Amino acid sequence: MPQTSIREVAKRAGVSVGTVSNVLNRPDLVAEATRDRVRAAIEELGFVRNESARRLRRGPERTAGEFGDQPRRAFGVVVEDLTNPYATDVARGAEAALNASGHDALWLSSDYSAAKERRSLELLEEQRAAGVLIIPVDLSARDISGLRTAGMSVVLIDRHTPDVCSAQVDHVAGGEIAAAHLLGIGRERIAFVTGVPEPEPCVERRDGASRTITEAGSAKPATLIQDAMSPTEGQAAAHQLLELSPRPDGVFCANDLLAIGLINELTRLGIRVPEDIAVIGYDDIELAASAAVPLTTIRQPRRELGWEAAELAMAELGEGKSHQHRQVVLRPELVIRESA
């Protein structure tokens, strides 16, 4: 007895399969007595509708917005690293938007691997998810158009190409703001700390910062490249930093985790932050405010970013053919605390 099907429920309740289906999908079409009988049968048999069959029959989800109940759909949220608070915040924003509209979010992580990324997309495609929100690691146009022909909406986060919807933060501006702040508090020898693989947005931050700095007439910033963007690597960066000559008096870290590790180690080595070296992070994760030296940082509107991305995805789904790809760009914001 492989599975309880609608047919057995029908037999048990003494009705036809069509009626059971109606109880499931349009209960108002069924007389109360019958409905109860069917429900009881469902209960007793522990019946669960086979979503595969349902979807097979239904085909590409109807244009939504029909009368009555919304078609609850699943969207995939693919991020590079579920351990990174930045990524999880973005994803939570997306999930919130999705939930608010009665949809669901499935999280997948690509772990910075193009292969895992591709596999995740495949999985979503096989499951016939409604759409994907993705912080891409290495997405080709081909992958995307594949998804598209499978009828899924695709939204890029933190990256963009003309023929897909995307939501991103203006990282160049973020870099500029950070550099301008460092310059503004009188720092002249600025270093940049980042990690490999260096995500596109970090490159942009770096470019923005670099330009601002050289345009202001200061020396091109030294760049310290670590193995990852974690606090541990930030610690390591502290030592490298002190070996630089001339020793920098301002540091711009590609993310807060690096900054926190860096500051902690610097403090332990007797260097005062911000007096000796000012440090500015990027992201404004929760920990930034309650760090030993509260971190000055660039806040990304991450929840909003995820939220916007989800809105785009849902819109794309609703609009069908007439859809015009949109690119949302949010602006980051300087949060001044104590580290710079």
Partner DNA sequence: AGCGTAGCTTGAAACGATTCACGATCTTCG
Partner DNA sequence: CGAAGATCGTGAATCGTTTCAAGCTACGCT
Binding site for DNA (CB under 7 A): 2-3, 5-7, 14-22, 24-25, 29-31, 33-35, 47, 49-50, 53-54, 56-59, 62
* Nearer CB in complex with DNA: 37/299: 37
Which of a second copy, DNA, none binds 31 (CB below 5-8 Å, type-dependent)? DNA
Question: Which of 11, 39, 49, 337: binder of a second copy (CB under 8 A)?
Answer: 49
From the list 131-139, 175-183, 227-235, 244-252, the region that binds a second copy by CB under 8 A is 227-235
Question: Which of 11, 39, 118, 128: binder of a second copy (CB under 8 A)?
Answer: 128
Residue 281 touches a second copy, criterion: CB under 8 A: no
Shortest Cβ 220–a second copy spacing (Å): 29
Question: Which of 9, 191, 209, 260: binder of a second copy (CB under 8 A)?
Answer: 260
Rounded CA gap, 86 and 167, in Å?
A: 15
- Say if CB 300 and CB 85 are below 8 A apart: no
Token pair of 87, please? 């990524």
Q: Residue 86 region, left (φ>0) first, then alpha (ψ -120 to 50), else beta? A: alpha
Rounded CA gap, 177 and 171, in Å?
A: 10
Residue 214 touches a second copy, criterion: CB under 8 A: no
Length of the chain counted residue by residue: 340
Residue 268: Cβ within 10 Å count: 11
Token pair of 70, please? 């919304």
- Say if CB 81 and CB 51 are below 8 A apart: no
Question: Which of 44, 51, 163, 276: binder of a second copy (CB under 8 A)?
Answer: 51
* Nearer CB in complex with DNA: 55/331: 55
Name the CA radius of gyration of the chain, rounded: 26
Rounded CA gap, 217 and 143, in Å?
A: 43
Shortest Cβ 34–DNA spacing (Å): 3
Shortest Cβ 150–a second copy spacing (Å): 5
Pairing of strands 333-335, 296-299: antiparallel
Which residues, 67 to 86, sit near a second copy by CB under 8 A?
Answer: 74, 82-83, 85
